[in-house]
Amino acid sequence: MEQSSVVAKMQSNEEFVKFLGKGAYGSVDLIKYTKTDGSSFLAAVKTSYAEILEDYNALKREIQILSELKGYPNIVICYEDDLEEGFNDHGHQVYKLLLEYANEGSLRSFMENYTDKKLPDPMIRDFTRMILEGLVSIHSHGYVHCDLKSDNLLIFSRKDASSYELKISDFGNCREVGEVPDHWEIDFPFVGTPIYMPPESLIDGAAKKTLDLWSLGCLVLEMYTGEKPWAGVGIVDLVNFLSDGEAPDIPECVPCDAREFIETCFAREHEKRGNASELMLHPFLCPEEKTEKIVVAVAKEKKTLLVKLKLRIKRASKITMDIREKPLKLKMFPSKPTQLKKLLSKLLRFYYVKIWVSFNFAEFSGSSTMVTRLRLVSRSSRYATVKFTESFSASCSCRLFSASTDPESESQPAQAPPTNPVTGDEERHEKLRNLRVLLQQNRIETARGVLYSLLRSDSAPFTSPKELFSAFSLSSPSLKHDFSYLLLSVLLNESKMISEAADLFFALRNEGIFPSSDSLTLLLDHLVKTKQFRVTINVFLNILESDFRPSKFMYGKAIQAAVKLSDVGKGLELFNRMKHDRISPTVFIYNVLIDGLCKVRQMKDAEQLFDEMLARRLLPSLITYNTLIDGYCKDGNPEKSFKVRERMKADNIEPSLITFNTLLKGLFKAGMVEDAENVLTEMKDQGFVPDAFTFSILFDGYSSNDKADAALGVYETAVDSGLKMNAYTCSILLNALCKEGQIEKAEEILGREMAKGLVPNEVLYNTMIDGYSRKGDLVGARMKIDAMEKQGMKPDHLAYNCLIRTFCELGDMENAEQEVNKMKLKGVSPSVETYNILIGGYGRKYEFDKCFDLLKEMEDNGTMPNVVSYGTLINCLCKGSKLLEAQIVKRDMEDRGVSPNVRIYNMLIDGCCSKGKIEDAFRFSEEMFKKGIELNLVTYNTLIDGLSMNGKLAEAEDMLLEISRKGLKPDVFTYNSLISGYRFAGNVQRCIALYEEMKTSGIKPTLKTYHLLISLCTKEGIELTKKIFGEMSLQPDLLVYNGVLHCYAVHGDMDKAFNLQKQMIEKSIGLDKTTYNSLILGQLKVGKLCEVRSLIDEMKAREMEPEADTYDIIVKGHCEMKDYMGAYVWYREMQEKGLLLDVCIGDELVSGLKEEWRSKEAENVISEMNGRKLGDVIVDEDLSATERSFENQECVLQDKYF
C-alpha cells in the first residue's frame, strides 16, 4: 500500500474483525478499514499501552527497523513511518502499528493444516530460501532479529493460490549487531525465545548474526518434524544442554542435504555457520539436478563458452533479473581467465552484486581439467557472497569488488591481491562518469537510484560517502553543489545512513557548501531519532555559526538533544538564543524544557516556563500538564500536583489514565493515602478503568504505607473486574503481604492465581522465599526453594541470599555460612551481595577479623569487592566506635581502585560527629570537596546534627544557610536536628520559630518533631503544648500522648489528663508505665494522695508491676505534702518487693521522719540505706539542705522518666 494512502486510511472508518494474537510487546487485532470511496482493506494492527514503557520502546524500535527495511524481500510491510497515537475503548492511551495482514497466519498455525504438522519437502526448501533472503536484508542493515521462530513468520497466499510467500515479522526484540538486550541477565541468559537460542547467548547476550542462523536451523528442523525444538525439555535442562554446546537431535527422516544444512546452522563455533548469503548457496537450496552444466573443451570450445555466458546474461536481464535458481558450472576452464573477468565485470555493472571468486587454474596441458562454480546473485540479494572453491594444483585469487566478510578469505590475506582491472581506478572513474552524465541530463531520479545502490552495496569502490563526494568534486567541480544536495538527500531518505550524513555535512561546510533547509531539518530529526544527541548539538552549533537562520523545528531538535544529554543548561541557552533571534518557541519546545527541568527537580524554573507559555498565549497540552504533575510528585510536593490538576480542569484539558496514575503514585509516595483514594474515586467517576499499571501502583502504595489489608481489598476489586494478574503485578501484591508478615495470605493468593493459569517465575518464588525469611520461617523458605527446583527452575543467589540475610540478622553466622556452602554445592556461586550480607552480619557482631577474611576471599575467588562491600564494613566499624580502623579501610579501598562515594563519607562524618570529633568530620567534608564529590543533604544534616549535639548551635545555623546557598532544600531531618539542639539548650522560642519556619516552607513535621517540642513546651505551660498538639496532622503515637498527659499532670489539670487517658483507650493506644507515672504525679500534685492506690491497682490489673521509678514518685510526692508516714508506708512496700529508693529521696524521707519525731522509722531507713553502701546519712542535717537536694532531684526525675 502506498504511503500517501495511509493518511486517508487513518481517517477512515475502522471495524474490529477479530483478535489475532499477542506478540512479544503488544496485542494484534485484525481491523477492516473502509475509505470514503467505499473501498476497504484489512490490516493487522499491533497495539501497546503508552503506560508500559517497555512495550512502547519495543514498538518504536520495530517501526524504525521496518521503515529501514521497507521494500526488501520477505519482510512484512509496515504501512506507516511513525506510530499512531490514540485511545482505546477504555480510555487508555495506546500506540498502534499497522502491518499487512497475512491471510494464512503464522508458520506455526499454517503447519496445523498438514499431517503431523510436517510440511512437504519442496515447500520447506522454498520457505527456507525466503527466510534467508529476509535475513540477508536484516543483517545487511546491521541488525539481528533475535527472535526468529515459527510464530513470527507469516504466510501469504499468492494470487494464483497455488503457492505461498513467507515473510519475517515481529521485530520487537530486534537488536543492533553486538547490542546486549536490557532483559538479558545471567539468571535468564536468553536474548529471545529460549528454545530457539544458540549456546553463545548464555555467555554475554550480545546479538550476533549467527544467532539467527541457529534459529533458522531450529525452524527447518521444526518444519520437517512438526515439533518445536527441544520438545519436552525443561528450562533448566535446556540451559545445561546449551552450556555443553548441544543442539537439538536431527531424526533420520530428514533428507541428507537438509541434515547437512541444519548441522551447519548448529555449528558449535558460531563463526563456522557462515552467513545468510553463504547459506543460500548450500546444496540444500541448490540441488545438482537444477544446475545447468556447460562443458567446454579447453581449446575448441572457448568461444562457445563466452557465447553461452552472454546469452545467459541477456536472457536473465530480459526475463527475471534473477538467476539464482540456475547457477553456472564450468568444466575444463581455459588457461587464462581474462575473458571471464571481463564478462563478470559486465555482470557487476548489470546487477551491482558483491562476488568473491577464487579462480583455481594450472598451466594449460591436454590432460588438465578443473571445475569452477559460478553463481550470480540478483539486486534483491546483493549482499550475498559467491565462492568458487574447487582447486587443482596451483591456485590464486582474483577479487572483483570490495572486501568480503568471508572468514576463510580473511584468514588467507596473501591470496587476495589488493588491485585488479575491475576494482581499481577504472571502476571508480566509471561510477563517477555515470553519475556526472545523469546529473548533466537532469535524470535526478535515476541518479538517486544509482547512488542508493552504490551506498548500500558492500562492494562499492568508495570507502565512505565523504570519499565519494571528494572524488566527484575533483572530477566534476561544476556539479559538486548539485551532487552534494543529492548525496545528502539519499543518505537521509533512502539509505538512512545518518552518521555518514553527519560526516558529509561537516565535509560540505569545510568546502563552503551549505545544505538546503529541508536537508538540515531531516538531518537533525534523524540524528535525534537515532539518539546521536551530541552530534545533533555539534551540527546545530555549526549552523548557528553561519548566516543561516534556523527554523523552529531545528531549534526544537537541538534543545531536545541537549535535554536528552541531561544538559538542561545548554537547552535553556539555545532557548534564550532562539528568543533573541525573535523566533517564537513552540509548545513542543516548552514541553521538552519543562520535562528536563522536572527531571532535575528544578520545579521553580519549570513553573516560570509554564507561566511564560501562558504569557505567549500558547495552550499547554495534556503532555505539559502530565509532565508538571509527575515532576511535583517526584519532588515530594503533591499539593502542587493538585493545583496543576485544577488548572487542567479550568483549561478544559481532559486528563488521561497517565494523569491519574501519576497522581496516585506521587500521593502514595508522600504517605497521603486518603487523598490517593479520592483521586482513585475521581478516576473511576470519569469513566477510566484501572489497568494493570494502576493496580501495581495501588499494591505498592498501600504496601509502602503499611496497609496490606487495603492492598488485599484492591486485589479483590481487580479479581471482580476480570483483570488477569501477570507475574509482575502479582509479585508486588505478594511482597506487600510478606512485608507485613501475612505469608499465609500470600500463599492463598498465589494458589488462586496459579489456578487461573499464572505460571510462577523466579521473581515470584524469590518474593515468597523472602517473605518466609522475613517472618523467620526458614523451613518454609527452604520448601519454596525445593518447589522451584521441582518446577525446573534453578534457585539463584537471590533466593539463597534471603536465607543468609535472615541468619545474619539473627546473629547466627554459623548457619549463614552453612547456607553459603549449600548454594556452592548447588552450583550457585556467592555473589557480591552474598558477601556483603556476610560482612554486615559479622560487622554487627564486631567480628571485624572475619570481615577482612571475607574481603580477601572475594578477591581470591575473582569476585571483586565493590563500594557496598567496603561501605558495609566501614559503617559497622563506625557504629562500633572503630573510627581509626574505618579510615584504614577507606584508604585500602582507594588503593584498590574503588573510590568512596558520598554515602561512605557520610558514614565517616556521622561516626566522627557521634563521638564529638567535629573537626575530623569537617576534614572529611573538605576531602569530599577536593575530590569533586558533592555534599548532599544527608552530609549537611549529619554535620548539623553533630554541631547541635555538641552545643555549637551558631555553626549549625550557618550550615543551614549553606544548604540554601548550594541549591539544596532543608528537610525535616535538618530542622529536627536543630530543634533537638535548642531543646537541650532550653531555648523554647528558637524551637518554636524553627517549627513555624518548617511549616512555612511546606515541610511536614514528623512524630519526632512533636516529641521534641512537646517535651520542651511542658515547662512553658499547658497552652503552648495544647496548641502544638492541636496542629498535628499525623496520628499521635504513645510518646506524644504521654508527653501531653505529663504536661497536664505537671500543671495539675487532672481533668484533661484523665480525658486524654480515656481517648488513648478509645483509640487503642496502649497505656504504659510512663502514662501511669504521669497520672500518679498529677494526683500527688493536687493532693489526692488516696487516689494513688487505685492507680497502682489499675496498673497491676493491666499486668504492669510498679517499678522503683513509680515508687520514687509516690514517696517524693508524699514528702512534698509533708505526709512522711504515708511516704514511709510506700517505702516499706518497696522494701518488701526488693526495690531500692533513690538516695536523695531517701535523705528527704529521713529528714521528714526526724522532724516528726519518728526516730525509729528514720533509723530503719538509715540502716537499710547504709546496707546499700550508699554512704552515711547525717540525721541532724539541716532541713534547708534537704530541700535543696529535693529541688535538684525533681529536675533529674523529670528528665529521667518523662
DSSP 203-246: TT----HHHHHHHHHHHHHHHHHSS-TTTT--HHHHHHHHHTT-
What gap in Å lies between CA 557 and CA 546, rounded to an integer? 18
Q: Which three cell numbers stand for residue 253?
A: 527422516
Q: What digits encode the pLDDT tens for the residues 1029-1067?
A: 888 888 899 999 999 999 999 888 999 999 999 999 988
Q: How far is CA 476 from each of CA 447, 461, 470, 481, rounded to the nearest angstrom? A: 15, 18, 10, 10
Give CA–CA dist 961/753, Å, rounded: 55
DSSP bridge pairs for 164: 157
**pLDDT-based confidence at residue 583 (cuts at 50, 70, 90):** confident
Tell me the mean pLDDT in the region 504-530. 85
Nearest to 77 by CA among 94, 59, 63: 63
pTM of this prediction exceeds 0.85: no
Confidence of residue 1002 (pLDDT cuts 50, 70, 90): confident
The percentage of residues in the chain with a pLDDT greater than 70, rounded to a whole number, is: 82
End-to-end CA distance of the chain: 83
Return d(Cα 499, Cα 366) in angstroms, integer: 56
pLDDT at 261 (0 to 100): 94
pLDDT of residue 481: 82
Q: Cell numbers for 1172, please give them.
A: 546499700
One-letter amino acid for residue 1052 of the chain: G
State yes or no: pLDDT of 308 exceeds 50. no
Does residue 30 sit in helix, strand or coil? strand
- The CA R_g of the chain, rounded to the nearest whole Å, is 41
Cα–Cα distance for residue pair 818/183, rounded to 1 Å: 32
Mean pLDDT, the chain, whole residue set:
79
Q: Do the beta carbons of residue 147 and residue 195 sit within 8 Å?
A: no
CA nearest neighbour of 1153 among 1180, 1181, 1124: 1124
555, 571 Cβ separation under 8 angstroms: no
- CATH fold of 586-689 reads 1.25.40
pLDDT above 90 covers what percent of the chain? 25
Q: How many angstroms separate the CA atoms of 453 and 875, rounded?
A: 64
- pLDDT at position 295 is 31
Question: pLDDT tens across 53-94, in order?
Answer: 666 777 888 888 888 888 888 999 988 777 777 666 655 677
Residue 321 has what pLDDT?
37
- Residue ranges covered by each domain of the chain: 4-100, 107-279, 288-423, 586-689, 831-912, 1108-1202
What pLDDT is attached to residue 264?
93
Question: What pLDDT score does 219 carry?
Answer: 96
Contact 193, 147 (CB under 8 A): yes
What fold characterizes domain 107-279?
A: Transferase(Phosphotransferase); domain 1 (1.10.510)
* Residue 78 near residue 66 (C-beta atoms within 8 A): yes
Q: Is-contact 499 531, C-beta < 8 A?
A: no
Using alpha carbons, select from 391, 303, 296, 313 the residue that is nearest to residue 347: 313
> Do 708 and 744 meet the contact criterion of CB atoms below 8 Å apart?
no
Own/partner contacts of 749-755, CB < 8 Å, gap of 24 or more, are: 749/715, 753/725
3-class state of residue 154 by DSSP: strand
| pLDDT tens for each residue of 923-967 | 999 999 888 888 999 999 999 999 999 989 999 999 999 998 888
Helix axes 121-140, 209-225, angle to 10 degrees: 170
Non-local CB neighbours of 535 within 8 Å, separated by 6+ positions: 499, 502, 527
Measure the CA angle with vertex 845, ends 843 and 851; round to 5°: 35
What pLDDT shows up at residue 5?
A: 38
CB distance 768 to 735 below 8 Å:
no
Residue 1180 has pLDDT above 50, yes or no: no
Nearest to 978 by CA among 954, 999, 1000: 954
SS3 809: helix
- Residue-wise DSSP of 1044-1107: HHHHHHHTT-HHHHHHHHHHHHHTT----HHHHHHHHHHHHHTT-TTHHHHHHHHHHHTT----
pLDDT at 721 over 50: yes
Q: Note the pLDDT of residue 415.
A: 36
**What counts of helices (H) and strands (E) characterise the chain?**
55, 14
Given this model, what pLDDT does residue 394 score? 31
Whether the pLDDT of residue 373 is over 70: the answer is: no
* 439 contacts: CB under 8 Å, gap ≥ 6: 447, 476, 479, 482, 483, 486
Alpha helices in 616-686 (DSSP H): 622-634, 638-650, 657-669, 673-685
**pLDDT tens-digit map of 665-685:** 888 888 888 888 888 888 888
**Cα-to-chain-centroid distance, residue 948:** 40
Task: Give residue 920's pLDDT.
Answer: 92
User: What cell was used for 710?
Assistant: 487495603
Q: Which contiguous run of DSSP H or E holds residue 1194?
A: helix 1183-1201
The neighbouring-strand residues paired with 95 are 48, 85
In the predicted structure, residue 368 carries a pLDDT above the cut 70: no
Closest CA to 906 of 883, 924, 879: 924
pLDDT band at 354 (very low <50, low <70, confident <90, very high): very low
pLDDT tens-place string over residues 404-441: 333 333 333 333 333 334 445 677 788 888 888 888 88
20, 30 Cβ separation under 8 angstroms: yes
Of the candidates 837, 834, 867, 839, the residue with the CA atom closest to the CA atom of residue 851: 839
The Cα–Cα gap between 347 and 140 comes to: 21
pLDDT of 51 > 60? The answer is no
pLDDT higher than 90, residue 499? no
Q: Judge whether 562 and 570 are in contact, CB under 8 Å.
A: yes
Instruction: Answer whether 278's CB lies under 8 Å from 406's CB.
Output: yes
Phi, psi of 157 (to 5 degrees): -85, 135
Nearest to 1071 by CA among 1044, 1093, 1049, 1039: 1039
- Give residue-wise pLDDT tens across range 1129-1179: 998 998 888 888 898 998 898 898 888 888 888 888 888 887 654 444 333
Half-sphere exposure (Cβ direction) of 1113: Cα atoms closer than 13 Å: 30
CB-count burial class (<10 Å; 0-12, 13-18, 19+) for 131:
buried
Are residues 1156 and 1128 in contact, defined by beta-carbon separation less than 8 angstroms?
Answer: no
Go through the chain and tell me how many residues it has: 1202
**Got the DSSP string for 862-927?**
T----HHHHHHHHHHHHHTT-HHHHHHHHHHHHHTT----HHHHHHHHHHHHHTT-HHHHHHHHHH
Whether the pLDDT of residue 223 is over 90: the answer is yes
The distance from CA 955 to its chain's CA centroid, rounded to whole angstroms, is 42
**654-665 residue pLDDT tens:** 888 888 888 888
Copy the grid coordinates of residue 219.
525452524
**Looking at the DSSP assignment, which residues form a beta bridge with residue 16?**
31
**Beta carbons of 811 and 841 less than 8 angstroms apart:** yes
Residue with the larger pLDDT of the pair 696 and 1064? 1064
Identify which of 334, 383, 331 has the alpha carbon closest to the alpha carbon of residue 355: 383
HSE (side-chain half, CA atoms, 13 Å) at 756: 15
* Residue found under cell 510491510: 77
Quick one: average pLDDT of 502-528? 85
What one-character-per-residue DSSP string does 957-1015 give?
Answer: HHHHHHHHHTT----HHHHHHHHHHHHHHT-HHHHHHHHHHHHHTTPPP-HHHHHHHHH
pLDDT, one tens digit per residue, over 1090-1117 is: 889 999 999 989 889 999 999 999 999 9
> What CATH number matches the domain at 4-100, 3.30.200.20, 3.30.260.10, 3.30.70.1050, 3.40.50.970?
3.30.200.20
> CA nearest 221: which of 728, 957, 414, 213?
213
Question: Which amino acid does the sequence have at 957?
Answer: E
Question: Per-residue pLDDT for 771 more than 50?
Answer: yes
Q: Could you tell me which of 693, 672, 714, 687 has the C-alpha nearest to residue 1004?
A: 672
Phi, psi of 707 (to 5 degrees): -130, 65
C-alpha to C-alpha distance for 1099 and 387, rounded to whole angstroms: 98
For residue 522, pLDDT beyond 50: yes
For residue 1072 the three cell numbers come to 504504659
Joined grid coordinates for residue 696: 501495581
Asked whether the predicted pLDDT for residue 8 surpasses 50, the reply is no
Q: Is the pLDDT of residue 52 over 70?
A: no
